[in-house]
Amino acid sequence: MRKKPKAEAPGVSESERLLFGGPLRYDTGWNSHQDAFLELNLRAMVTRLPSLLTASFRLAWQADRPAARIVLVAEVSRGLSQAVSLLAVNSVLGRLIGGGPLEERLRGAVPALVVMAAVMMAGALLRAASTYATGRLEPKVERVATERYLERAATVELAAIEDHTFHKLLDTAQYGAASARRMISYATRVVNAMISLVAAAGVLTVLHPALLPLLVTMTLPSAWSALTMARRRYASFHAWVQHVRAGRLLGALLIEPEAAPEVRVHGVGPFLLRHFRAMAETAEAEQTRLARLAAGTGLIAAGWTGLATAATYATLGGLLLGGAMALSVAGTAVIAIRTGSQSLDTLVVEVNALHEEALFVGDLQRLHTEAADWVVPVGGTALPDEPREIRFENVTFTYPGDARRPALDGVTLSVPLGKIVALVGENGSGKTTLVKLLAGLYAPGEGRILWDDVDAADTDRRLLAERVAMVAQNFKRWPFTARVNVAVGRPSVPLTEERVADAVGEAGAQDVLADLPHGLDTLLARNFSGGHELSGGQWQRLGIARAAYRHGRILIVDEPTAALDARAELEVFEKIRALAGTGQTVILITHRLASVRHADLVHVLEQGRLVESGTPEELLASGGVYAELYSLQAEQFTKVPRGPDPSSRDLPGEVPAPKAG
């Protein structure tokens, strides 16, 4: 078995140990095709070439058929014109070196010279056509590949995005589009080099059969050197990719706005810089090692090429001296050997590159296949028009990975529609997971979620999603204008001023907009010029406006007031209560138990299990978990000494002492 080139294992620098807890081992999806590349040798290259060229042509054909046709015709014609050109050279040399007066010899060479000139002109025109068509084709190929990639990423289940293996594939496949683009020019050059090689080889065989093996012998050393170096670079890239990425991460942290305050207040700058330098220096050592090896390999290859060239010219000399070859033929042979060896060199390098790019395009194709298993299904039974309740029946759900316990464990509960239902429980008790299941973002591992008597698992997920509006705990702060940040709640309906204004009013976000320099047209992305940043509480109000804009029949609010000041919190709960008055279902997750007082039903979760259900009064009276959490919060306020003004306004977080029970 052939020995694989070994990449030097990255040296574990002190920085790496300290910052990342040990050596940053290579662990991305590239692993899957690493071996394929390392096994690449001349024979493998030749066998894989047809499929690589077909793949490139298919990509080009999908993106722009006329341009793909132009490139193909132009490159094939250019290769053929080189054969004609070589034959014309042979004819010119034959005439010039042959017998007779000089004037006659020159005149005799004119037709072949005219052919040469015509072929050169045609070659230039074909080159221009190919350059134009390739330039037109490349961005289209990249766009088509990127669109397919993004479309796949957007249509898979949330669980796929959170699945480590699938996410790795998403990470690696993103390089596929740029690789597809590059494959076009590599494939073009490969086709061109192949045809001119065939032309040179054909001419050489016609001139003398012994010349063809000489051409191959001359080119083998440089082919070997190009392949060896490419394999080493690739192996090194994989062994060092994490290390290099981590080094870049350190650099990026120094300029990132989120890190900027701590970098300055805690003086983290010099600390990060020191470790950045240490990691960069370790990576530089690898580059030096590769350069040393490249120099050595290059020298060996040059030595062999020199010997092969000397042998070629000695053979030519022998043939000339032995009278087996005319001088004019020897002249043409020298030109053909030079052209042929250049084409062979190009061929090796370009096929090498083509193969490397094809591996990344292969990841993109793998993504398409694997994503098909994760795509959110379309179609299914309709939901009842006016359901009375959503019922969780013995629902268990465990996040993929190495979770130590299910996030939801045999939960049976009811969410009556048209009411305010609160979910309460300590951190990590499963509240957010429960609403994500309700919204169809995950499917239960066991049990059922019923909308009256229709199992959510059998329904059309898009129709289910249309019923739900959600203000998630970490809802997205879109880097767009304030208007879009509201209207993105329902992109399927035309954006109208009236709808936006209504939603802003419902969320009580008018004050937030009034403070913005361009109102609804203010760009909410500080990293762009003219961009503006909102405070956490201001963002939260826009998030609520977004959910109001959606007009989902079920409004899920996960910690809606965490970043709000006391007055704003009061207002938001007023709005939420008013929504419930209009028949809207509100599912409220909050740790502020005072806000739960107005809920029609409270479910208390503990470590993924439902431990209590009832009205707030019932739960307080029962003296269980809810009552305990309530007392804890109440105590905080009763213990705090009151301010000098006893008539000061009640704070929404202020809770009355629980009834005994």
Ligand X SMILES: Nc1ncnc2c1ncn2[C@@H]1O[C@H](COP(=O)(O)OP(=O)(O)OP(=O)(O)O)[C@@H](O)[C@H]1O
Q: Is 602 in the site for ligand X (CB under 6 A)?
A: no
Q: How far is the CB of 629 from ligand X (least distance, A)?
A: 12
Tell me which stretch binds ligand X (CB under 6 A): 304-312, 424-432, 510-518, 580-588.
424-432
Of 185, 225, 341, 433, the one binding ligand X by CB under 6 A: 433
d(CA 580, CA 421): 10
Per rule CB under 6 A, is residue 407 in the interface with ligand X? yes
Q: Please, which residue, 329 or 407, has the CB nearer to ligand X?
A: 407
Question: Which range binds ligand X by CB under 6 A, 49-57, 73-81, 108-116, 425-433?
Answer: 425-433
Of 474 and 648, nearer to ligand X (C-beta) is 474
Position 444 contacts ligand X (CB under 6 A): no
Q: Residue written as tokens 């061929």?
A: 347
| Window 465-504: residues binding ligand X (CB under 6 A) | 473
Select from 436, 428, 429, 508 the least CA-distant residue to 472. 436
Q: Tell me if 431 contacts ligand X by CB under 6 A.
A: yes
Shorter beta-carbon distance to ligand X: residue 162 or 650 = 162
Residue 556 binds ligand X, judged by CB under 6 A: no
Burial class (CB in 10 A: 0-12, 13-18, 19+), 132: middle
Question: Which range, of 210-218, 236-244, 423-431, 613-621, touches ligand X by CB under 6 A?
Answer: 423-431
Q: Are 654 and 637 in contact (CB under 8 A)?
A: yes
Q: State the CB neighbour count (10 A cutoff) for residue 495.
A: 14
Q: What share of the chain is helix, strand, coil (3-state, %, to 5)?
A: 65, 10, 25
Only one of the segments 15-23, 171-179, 325-333, 428-436 lies at the binding site for ligand X (rule: CB under 6 A); that segment is: 428-436
DSSP state string for 326-370: -HHHHHHHHHHHHHHHHHHHHHHHHHHHHHHHHHHHHHHHHHHHH
Distance CA 530, CA 10 (A): 44
Helix H or strand E segment including 105: helix 102-155
Of the listed pieces 50-58, 287-295, 328-336, 429-437, which binds ligand X according to CB under 6 A?
A: 429-437
427 versus 582: smaller Cβ distance to ligand X: 427
- Measured from the CB atom, is 433 or 538 closer to ligand X? 433
CB 580 within 8 A of CB 557: no
| DSSP line for 493-549 | S---HHHHHHHHHHHT-HHHHHTSTTGGG-B--TTSTT-----HHHHHHHHHHHHHH
Q: How far is the CB of 447 from ligand X (least distance, A)?
A: 16
* Residue span binding ligand X (CB under 6 A) among the ranges 89-97, 227-235, 427-435, 562-570: 427-435
# residues near ligand X by CB under 6 A: 13
Q: Which among 239, 234, 182 has a CA at the least distance from the CA of 36? A: 234
Of 387 and 430, nearer to ligand X (C-beta) is: 430
Regarding beta strands 554-558 and 468-471, do their DSSP bridges make them parallel or antiparallel, or are they unpaired? parallel
Smallest Cα–Cα separation from 1: which of 39, 29, 47, 50? Answer: 39
Binds ligand X (CB under 6 A): choice among 432, 481, 540, 585: 432
What is the secondary structure of 393-407 as a DSSP string? EEEEE--TTT-SS-S
**Nearest distance, CB of residue 355 and ligand X, angstroms:** 38
Selection from 302, 290, 186, 179 nearest residue 229 by Cα: 290
Dihedral in degrees, nearest 10, Cα atoms 639, 642, 647, 650 = -50
Query: Residue 430 CB, nearest distance to ligand X (Å)?
Result: 4
Q: Which helix (H) or strand (E) holds 171?
A: helix 164-207
Q: How far is the CB of 604 from ligand X (least distance, A)?
A: 11
Rounded to the nearest whole angstrom, what is the least distance from the CB of residue 380 to ligand X in the complex? 25
What residues from 156 to 185 belong to the interface with ligand X (CB under 6 A)?
162
Residue 429 as a binder of ligand X (CB under 6 A): the answer is yes
Task: Tell the smallest beta-carbon distance from residue 431 to ligand X (Å).
Answer: 4
Residue 539 C-beta: closest distance to ligand X, Å:
18
For the bound state, the minimum distance from the C-beta of residue 619 to ligand X, rounded and expressed in Å, comes to 17
Single-letter amino acid, residue 1 = M
Q: Nearer to ligand X by C-beta: 174 or 473?
A: 473
Distance of closest approach, residue 301 Cβ to ligand X, in angstroms: 52
Determine, following the binding rule CB under 6 A, whether residue 539 of this chain makes contact with ligand X: no
Minimum CB separation of residue 537 from ligand X in Å reads 18
Task: Give whichever of 431 and 483 is closer to ligand X, judged by the CB atom.
Answer: 431
Q: Is 616 in the site for ligand X (CB under 6 A)?
A: no
Residue 561 engages ligand X in binding (rule: CB under 6 A): no
Stretch of 76-84, 119-127, 422-430, 629-637 lying at the interface with ligand X (CB under 6 A)? 422-430
Give the binding range for ligand X (CB under 6 A) out of 223-231, 371-379, 399-407, 626-634: 399-407
Alpha-carbon distance of 460 to 381, in angstroms, equals 6
Q: Under the criterion CB under 6 A, does residue 427 sit at the interface with ligand X?
A: yes
Residue 428 touches ligand X, criterion: CB under 6 A: yes
Nearest approach in angstroms of CB 435 to ligand X is 8
List, in sequence order, the alpha helices (H) in 208-326: 211-255, 260-265, 268-321
| Least distance (Å) between residue 67 CB and ligand X | 44
Residue 611 backbone dihedrals phi, psi, to 5 degrees: -110, -25
* Alpha-carbon gap, residue 180 to 64, rounded angstroms: 14
576 binds ligand X (CB under 6 A): no
430 binds ligand X (CB under 6 A): yes
Using only C-alpha atoms, what is the Rg of the chain?
36
Helix and strand totals (H; E) in the chain: 20, 10
CB 579 within 8 A of CB 381: no
Minimum Å gap between C-beta 162 and ligand X is 5
Least distance in Å: CB of 173 to ligand X? Answer: 22
Q: Which is nearer to ligand X, 281 or 426 (CB)?
A: 426
**Residue 399 touching ligand X (CB under 6 A):** yes
SS3 at position 424: strand
Which range touches ligand X (CB under 6 A), out of 141-149, 420-428, 536-544, 621-629? 420-428
425 binds ligand X (CB under 6 A): yes
Distance CA 127, CA 134 (A): 10
Binding site for ligand X (CB under 6 A): 162, 399, 403, 407, 425, 427-433, 473
